A and B are shown apart, each in its own frame.
Chain A
Amino acid sequence: MLKIDNLSAEIGGKPILKGLSLFINAGEIHAIMGPNGAGKSTLAYVLGGRPGYEVTGGSVTFMGKDLLELETHERAALGLFLGFQYPVEIPGVSNVQFLREALNAQRGARGEAPLSGGEFLKLAKEKASLLKMDMEMLKRQVNVGFSGGEKKRAEMVQMGILDPVFAVLDETDSGLDIDALRIVGDGINTIMRKPERAVLLITHYQRLLDYVKPDFVHVLADGRIVKTGGPELALRLEEEGYEVVAA
């Protein structure tokens, strides 16, 4: 599904990713862990096509296409979802309007008919209740006045509604209390743990992985993946620290 081959990228002339390779098949959940400054968020933004992140080498193939050639909104229409570490507030735009416009733009790009207002509300209701968010919250402005936990939960509702084949979740667990963590973990499992889908979880901590069992755990250090293993690797990292394990 996703093939990252020898990817290098920089921000403002400073190299961050230095030859990163990673293959992800449908049905797999991968976790990337690593110390601050290793390049975790940069990887997420390069995959999401954020302006300012310049790819200087390597390639990324997603669903058989050259991902780096596509505009950000085209990547979304192809089934890529980027969960933000800091979801952005959009004053004046309700979640319902935002997501309906987004979903219908994606459907349009894929040649599918747009959903009517009623159809969309039914879908939104179903996905929101899955994540224990009520519809009132969806009527509010996008992320405006949401607590950290609410923002992350809203990201999960967005993911449920947009229905991607592949999700990159950048520190979705940061700022969450235990209950919210479980809800988000359940959300990822419910929405994304399917044979035809895949997830790349970017996280600092092992605790999210108690709820979402990864198939592979990678350690990212200084712009490269330096170690790959199963879920037990995350436990070792938690106990021994990055320096020991990555050495």
Chain B
Amino acid sequence: MTEAATLPTTRDEDWRYADSEFLAAANPQAINHWRTLTVPAGETRARYSEESSGAQCPGSVERYRVHVERGGRFEAFHLVTGGRYVRHEIEVTLEEGAHFEFGGVTLGGDDKVQEFVTRVIHAEPNATSNQVVRAVQWGKSTGNFLGRIEVVRDAQKTDAAQNFRALLLERGASANTKPELEIFADDVKCAHGAAIGALDETAGYYMAARGLPPEVARKLQVQAFIADAFANCSNSDAADRLLEGALLKLDGAVI
């Protein structure tokens, strides 16, 4: 197990936006531990979570490898509100006709560093994947999304999409994204999009003109912004819980 022996640093491409102080002090065994899951052919598995560790927790790294057999579906929806450093990493391998659906939201202030790292391997033909990540940051926090899509040579008719948008509520907050597409098949659809911006002032004014005070208008706008990430969740109760968790965090934040 050579991988357990070394500790990543921010010089490693996959860790370039990570919190270097956390990495320096981290336990190599813990940081290099991968959980594994196999989704049997034709079946569906799901993971939903909210990572909301407090400031006293130096950080958390969660990594899991998922293998989705022929025609199976794996969906993962995660909300990250904790910190200082939270990393949520997923590696998914898709067999023929399998699907991976991912929705992630980072929401944070102070000097939190919150990131999603995904690697989706389209190993066989006709598999599909869709990833929607939204980052809402204020204070001096950072939201990251590193998403790699690999389409092997025989994986024709792959349909993979990835979309990242960040909303920076205050000057000083930041977001990083690094889409990577490695495509070795010639009949595939791979789409990716990324945008980083501030709240839409025109919409804010429109809401004010209808009587909404700025804090309510902002909350509504943020809610609309992050709802995209949970829109494709097949379990609407879980999606609602994640959205409520996010709004609760936002209520508690002084923006």
Residues of A that sit less than 8 Å from B by CB: 48-51, 71-73, 76-77, 82, 84, 87-93, 97-99, 101-103, 105-106, 109, 158, 162
Contacts and interface: CB of A to CB of B under 8 A. Distances in A.
Contact of A73 (B202, B211, B224, B227): B211
Contact of B205 (A51, A77, A97): A51
Given A92-B223, A92-B225, A93-B223, A102 B210 contact: yes
Contacts of B210: 76, 98-99, 102, 158, 162
A203 B214 CA distance: 30
A41 B227 CA distance: 34
- How would you classify the secondary structure of chain B's contact residues: helix, strand, loop or mixed? helix
Contacts of B206: 84, 87-88, 90
A71 B202 contact: no
B220 A73 contact: no
A105 B216 contact: yes
Given A92-B223, A92-B227, A93-B224, A73 B213 contact: yes
Contact of A88 (B202, B211, B227): B202
A93 B208 CA distance: 15
B208 A71 contact: yes
Given A50-B205, A51-B201, A88-B203, A101 B224 contact: no
A139 to B, nearest CB: 15
A97 B224 CA distance: 11
B195 interface: no
Given A92-B224, A92-B225, A93-B224, A48 B209 contact: yes
16 contacts: A50-B205, A71-B213, A73-B211, A76-B209, A89-B203, A91-B224, A92-B223, A92-B224, A92-B228, A93-B220, A93-B224, A98-B207, A101-B220, A102-B207, A102-B210, A103-B211
A76 B214 CA distance: 13
B191 interface: no
Interface string B189-204: 0000000000001110
Given A84-B206, A93-B223, A97-B220, 5 more contacts: A48-B209, A88-B205, A91-B224, A101-B220, A109-B211
Contacts, number: 69
Interface string B211-235: 1111011001101110110000000
A157 B202 CA distance: 20
Contacts of A77: 211
B208 A90 contact: no
Contacts of A97: 220
A71 B214 CA distance: 10
A90 B212 contact: no
A98 B212 CA distance: 9
Contacts of B211: 73, 76-77, 102-103, 105-106, 109, 162
Contacts of B217: 73
Nearest to B214: A73
Nearest to A72: B208
Chain A to chain B: the 9 pairs with minimum beta-carbon distance, closest first: A92-B224, A76-B211, A72-B208, A106-B211, A88-B206, A102-B210, A73-B208, A93-B224, A102-B211
B205 A90 contact: no
Nearest to B209: A82
B203 A105 contact: no
A124 B209 CA distance: 19
Interface string B86-110: 0000000000000000000000000
A42 to B, nearest CB: 15
A145 to B, nearest CB: 15
Nearest to B220: A93
B220 A72 contact: no
Contacts of A103: 211
A99 B201 CA distance: 19
A101 B216 contact: yes
A43 to B, nearest CB: 15
B205 A72 contact: yes
A83 B12 CA distance: 54
Contacts of A49: 208
A52 B225 CA distance: 25
Nearest to A71: B208
